[in-house]
Chains A and B, each alone.
Chain A
Amino acid sequence: EAEVAQSPRYKITEKSQAVAFWCDPISGHATLYWYRQILGQGPELLVQFQDESVVDDSQLPKDRFSAERLKGVDSTLKIQPAELGDSAMYLCASSPPSARSYNEQFFGPGTRLTVL
């Protein structure tokens, strides 16, 4: 069964360092999402891609976060510099083609980030 892949699964870094997370969505899924989930809360959308284009990054802290999906397939989320408050689970999800279809989203296992 096709799955969303994420790496690394765990990342420990010191504040002010740079970190990067990678996501490979299910093949053929045009829409890709990055979420941040703070412990004890629901996921919050950081950025949404349709193919290689960003369609929503309104909640992305652009002074330190960046995301790209250059070929419209896999994606990278970067934080530079990391801050203590960035400690969270970073989840990637994808959904089938068509930005106008209200489909379920398929989530990867997440990357647990700890900033010391």
Chain B
Amino acid sequence: SQQGEEDPQALSIQEGENATMNCSYKTSINNLQWYRQNSGRGLVHLILIRSNEREKHSGRLRVTLDTSKKSSSLLITASRAADTASYFCATANNAGGTSYGKLTFGQGTILTVHP
């Protein structure tokens, strides 16, 4: 079963615009991670935000985390055609035991950036 729900399911924008994707989850977490997947390929890690952090930046990426609302957002600024991909949030929960390191992925947002 998948914990995360992502919104929107698909997003289409023009090059240069900003793209915002949202993720909601259900249980308490240790951290939340965002991954990118180009069509038919494996996933690439983008950024990790811990449960005690509220915002994190990496290049053109900005991630926020609101643990009270169990939600996160990924903002890609000044988008490029090469940003076209599927974006997934994944949560590492706090259950301990054999759950250490286990990630639960959302359904993903398909981002299309038109040149």
Contact = CB atoms under 8 A, between A and B. Distances in A.
Interface string A43-59: 11100100000011000
A22 to B, nearest CB: 15
A109 interface: yes
Interface residues of A, number: 29
Contact of A105 (B2, B41, B45, B104): B45
A44 to B, nearest CB: 7
Most buried by A among B40, B44, B101: B101
B20 interface: no
B45 A102 contact: no
Interface string A4-44: 10100000000000000000000000010000000011111
Interface residues of B, number: 28
Interface in B86-115: 88, 90, 92, 98-108
A104 B88 CA distance: 13
Contacts of A40: 107
B58 to A, nearest CB: 12
A45 B101 contact: no
Interface stretch (A65-73, A78-86, A93-101): A93-101
Given A56-B99, A99-B100, A102-B100, A42 B45 contact: no
Interface of A: 4, 6, 31, 40-45, 48, 55-56, 89, 91, 93, 95, 99-110, 112
Interface of B: 2, 4, 30-31, 33, 35, 40-45, 48, 50, 88, 90, 92, 98-108
